[in-house]
Structure 1
Amino acid sequence: MTLERVVAAPISPAEPAEPVVRSRGGRFEFLDALRGLAALAVVIQHCSERLWPGYFRFSQAYFGLGEFGVFVFFLVSGFIIPASLERGRSLGAFWVGRFFRLFPLFWACLIAALLLHSINRYGLPAGFLANPVVNFLANLTMMQFFIGGWDIQVVGASWSLSYELAFYLILSLLVIGGLNRRSVPLAIAALLLIVPGALLPIMLLNGPDSNLTTRSIVLAATLVVAAVFAYLAADRRTALAAILIAAIAVPLILNQPGASVLTFGYFATMFVGTVLYRMTSGEITPRRAWSVFLFAITLIFGVSLFVQPVLDPITGVWITWLKQPLTIIPAYLLFAAFLLLRRYSFPRPLLFLGRISYSLYLIHVLILDAPRWTTPILGIPATWLTLCTWVAAALLIATATYRWIEKPCHTFGGRMIAKIDAK
């Protein structure tokens, strides 16, 4: 069996597919609406924490609006990426599409950040400046968060893109191994890994505590994953692809720079999104899908109870067990609500916000060192004027980059995919 046949394997629905999801221009409306709200949440979070220290302390201690938005994004990705991957195209075509979807705008933002830094309008972390050439190359891969963490990241909001890219690598391995449609056990396994994942040290390859033992663990895990998926592959070509993907994905993921419980939580969230996609396509029953969803919420709450308070070094507030459930569970509930409304139309402004959401997500951090209003106008406080100005500027710039960078690259990528499919 060739790789193309694995990707295009027919669906064996558990029951007739549910009513068609409302779409516009080939895009699911409920997903675009969610993307728009998620991007706006991240923008408001980052702008507000710069302007109001009290809000920043609240968001660190109780409810992180930006983190809420990121979890919505992860659920959206978990829902739609398997659909894109299983559209009948080869893995090569999928990755070409993802490249032209993500990288051109990301690279443009990297260059813009460096130019803004040169005129003192954008701050770069000290870790990046310590070795700018190597760290810039690391950022070009979009996996910079797994390579060096926050200390080398140029575009502040791009850390989540490293997880997105890692998720694509994981899905590619599952496709090669013919396991991609086993979404319920995969989601449950990912959720259960959250607990032992909390015990995994950070940055096993190049962290402060890395040593021969931790690197040996990474090597052993890589060899095991590569061997398993090479064995499951249909032919030699896909076996080699599995070995290459495992050699990239496993070391990077195990080198995660933050708390392991969050790393596994991010991936588990994406797999929960995939389970809900399988439900809408009729591959699994709603009862099974919503059971997984409720299990995820229950586990998130249960694991949070054992989180030890941590003193945030920036705001000086204690981050307790309340923060994660108050932030993550509402993201799950919002996704569920929009999923239940998937047959209905959504307001066009919200759909437009969803179309430009990737541009908005990346662009907005580049304006946070822009000039601020210093005096009120017509009784409106200067901080509110600044917030409105920053948000409006982010929306205008994101609209421009969507039109002149994203869309042309999407079109070019589509032509490339057509050529690949024609072979």
Structure 2
Amino acid sequence: MQQEKDKVIFANQLRAIAIIAVMVIHLCGIYWVARDTVSAYIFAPAIEGPSSRLLGWLSPPTVNYGPFGVAIFFLISGFVIPFSLAKSSPVEFLISRFLRIYPTYLTGTAVMLLCIWLSSHYWGKEFAMTVEVLLANLSLVHSNILIKTIDLVNWTLAIEIKFYLISAILYSAIRKANPLPIVFLAVATLCFTDWYPVAHSIINFTYFNLSIESIKVELMVVCFMFIGTFFYFHFSEKITTIELISYSSILLLLILMCWTRNSWADQIPSTPQNYIYGLCVFVAAYTLRKYFRPFAPLDFIAKISYPLYITHSLIGYSIIRIAMDKNIPYFAALLIAVSIIIAISYALHITIETKSIDFGKNLIRKLRNKNPQNQLELNQANSNT
């Protein structure tokens, strides 16, 4: 068991690398190159003056840390989620995932909203947030009903939720390490993307408009996440290396075909190129997984990576913008912002994230005790897989 845990250290430390990459692009890049967007989200005047050269120093040509880091996050989810499915029923899995995502997200979002409210107060601007926009974002359905994000990062959480739902539907196939239903999902996604008419991409309901184009994109990304699941199949010795390469290549090809046919097509080649960079890093780390060892700085960042992801963007922008208004140089303002964000994230981790995960475990344990037959069936299924 310890040997298996050591081999999965690579995934945990990749999570730290991914969040660092995302923070670099947001706080060192987007802050400068998307000034109007940043100012609109934090209710502040747009920053003036020359941009920092920090991102240019850090970025090799063609590398965009945003999609690169997000791709790694998605692959890690695809890899680790089957571990949860292996010891849960579909309902138990969805309960644990709900409690894993929403309590920390809701609390982190509340802290973020407080921060940008303080920013609006500091700059003398009206804090405008409608109930409709807030509820759509808090429930993570905003991207599907044509409502803008309130934090610039929660679109990925909306995709995570779809991945959990589809994983629960494919529960049997994932437990049996059967790649074919996942490949069929990708084929169906390509057919749906290619054949469903763009002219009917918005379906009007009484209280909201449903965006079919957003569903096409999210299904494509879910298929990308399942590449990580294929690596889990290989890790658990259910498929061979040749099968891993073959199925992953087929899935990647189908995903790239989808990409040319959906609303993300205008991001070609930069975004899919960086998703492939992220995949290459994931493959390299997986191949060298036995050499990974605990490393306190990365392990700490990995531990708080979820609340850090939720809070870093708008809180970071607000702190940097106000600090620079107080004549604090950008690099010092950046250091202050990162320190505060890490402190907030650690506080969320120990007060909300770990508590909600423990609550989920206890809840599932109580449900099993009330119906021991379900636990018996789960144990029998585990012995057969």
Q: Counterpart of 2:286?
A: 339
Which sits farther off after the overlay, 341-350 or 276-285?
341-350
Q: Counterpart of 1:330?
A: 277
SS of structure 1 residue aligned to 2:367: helix
Q: State whether residues 38 and 70 of structure 1, in contact with CA within 8 Å, keep that contact through their aligned partners in structure 2.
A: yes
Selected match of 1:173 from 164, 169, 173: 169
Q: Counterpart of 2:106?
A: 107
Q: Counterpart of 2:4?
A: 21
Unpaired stretches in structure 2, ≥5 consecutive residues:
34-50, 122-126, 371-385
Deviation at 1:384, TM superposition (A): 2.6
Q: State whether residues 177 and 239 of structure 2, in contact with CA within 8 Å, keep that contact through their aligned partners in structure 1.
A: no
Q: Alpha-carbon deviations, 1:131-171, whole Å to 9, x = none?
A: x223322223223322334x2x2232111111111111111
Q: Alpha-carbon deviations, 1:269-306, whole Å to 9, x = none?
A: 11111111011111111210122233445566677789
| CA separation of 1:115 and 1:185: change in aligned 2, threshold 3 A | same
Selected match of 2:305 from 348, 352, 357: 357
1:279 aligns with 2:230: no
Q: Counterpart of 1:294?
A: 249
How many residue pairs match? The answer is 337
Q: Counterpart of 1:368?
A: 317
Q: Counterpart of 1:10?
A: none
Deviation at 1:355, TM superposition (A): 1.1
Q: State whether residues 101 and 406 of structure 1, in contact with CA within 8 Å, keep that contact through their aligned partners in structure 2.
A: yes
Deviation at 1:194, TM superposition (A): 5.9
Q: State whether residues 22 and 343 of structure 1, in contact with CA within 8 Å, keep that contact through their aligned partners in structure 2.
A: no
Q: Counterpart of 2:135?
A: 137
Question: How far apart, CA to CA, are the structure 1 residues paired with 2:195 and 2:64?
Answer: 24
Q: State whether residues 91 and 172 of structure 1, in contact with CA within 8 Å, keep that contact through their aligned partners in structure 2.
A: yes
Q: State whether residues 30 and 346 of structure 1, in contact with CA within 8 Å, keep that contact through their aligned partners in structure 2.
A: no
Unpaired stretches in structure 1, ≥5 consecutive residues:
1-17, 123-127, 216-250, 311-318
| CA separation of 1:139 and 1:70: change in aligned 2, threshold 3 A | same
Higher helix content, 1 or 2: 2
Q: Counterpart of 1:74?
A: 74
Q: Tell me the TM-score normalized by structure 2.
A: 0.75
Selected match of 2:10 from 7, 26, 30: 30
Deviation at 1:79, TM superposition (A): 1.0
Q: Counterpart of 1:398?
A: 345
| CA separation of 1:19 and 1:200: change in aligned 2, threshold 3 A | farther
| CA separation of 1:135 and 1:320: change in aligned 2, threshold 3 A | closer
1:162 aligns with 2:161: no
User: Which amino acid in structure 2 is aligned with residue 368 of structure 1?
Assistant: Y
Which sits farther off after the overlay, 160-169 or 386-395?
386-395
Question: How far apart, CA to CA, are the structure 2 residues paired with 1:100 and 1:302?
Answer: 35
Q: State whether residues 177 and 238 of structure 2, in contact with CA within 8 Å, keep that contact through their aligned partners in structure 1.
A: no
| CA separation of 1:96 and 1:384: change in aligned 2, threshold 3 A | same
Instruction: Report the aligned-residue RMSD.
Output: 3.8
| CA separation of 1:69 and 1:78: change in aligned 2, threshold 3 A | same
Question: How far apart, CA to CA, are the structure 1 residues paired with 2:55 and 2:20?
Answer: 20
Q: Alpha-carbon deviations, 1:290-330, whole Å to 9, x = none?
A: 222334455666777899998xxxxxxxx663303431111
Identity within the alignment, %: 26
User: Which amino acid in structure 2 is aligned with residue 337 of structure 1?
Assistant: A
| CA separation of 1:264 and 1:98: change in aligned 2, threshold 3 A | closer
Deviation at 1:392, TM superposition (A): 2.5
Question: How far apart, CA to CA, are the structure 1 residues paired with 2:108 and 2:219?
Answer: 28
SS of structure 2 residue aligned to 1:329: helix
1:73-92 correspondence to structure 2 within 5 Å? 73-87=73-87, 89-92=88-91
Which sits farther off after the overlay, 266-275 or 50-59?
50-59
Deviation at 1:36, TM superposition (A): 0.7
Q: Tell me the TM-score normalized by structure 1.
A: 0.68
Q: Alpha-carbon deviations, 1:313-353, whole Å to 9, x = none?
A: xxxxxx66330343111100111111112223142211121
| CA separation of 1:118 and 1:323: change in aligned 2, threshold 3 A | same
